Amino acid sequence: MAKLQPSRRAMAARQNGRLGGLRTAQTQSAEFLEERAAKAGSSTRDTYGIEYYRYLRSLNPSKLRIKATEKLELVNKEILPTAISTTSPKELMKAAASKIEL
């Protein structure tokens, strides 16, 4: 079975979005970033409704738990050691973004 490759347009959009996020992290205040992050969950809820979260919970919980555990292990092993010396959210976002692969 052949693995699908993302189009060049999709890859460019992802890279541009990543660069835009890094630029926002560099130029905006910590208060702005915290407020923006706090709005993300409510925006998703307003767009998709509470049924979206019910649907996510109805999925196979063991698969979701495994994915969450893998992400937590990634944070603990790779991201936190590089950002442990910094306490600013901006620096933590930079450290996390540097570890994310496209």
pLDDT in tens, 64-95: 566 667 776 766 666 555 555 556 777 777 77
- 97 in Cβ contact with 18 (< 8 Å): yes
CA–CA distances in Å: residue 10 to residues 2, 14, 22, 24: 19, 6, 18, 21
Q: What are the residue ranges spanned by the domains of the chain?
A: 8-99
Across residues 42-50, what is the average pLDDT?
A: 83
pTM for this prediction: 0.39
Query: Three-state DSSP class for 60?
Result: coil
pLDDT greater than 70 at residue 61: no
R_g (Cα) of the chain, nearest Å:
17
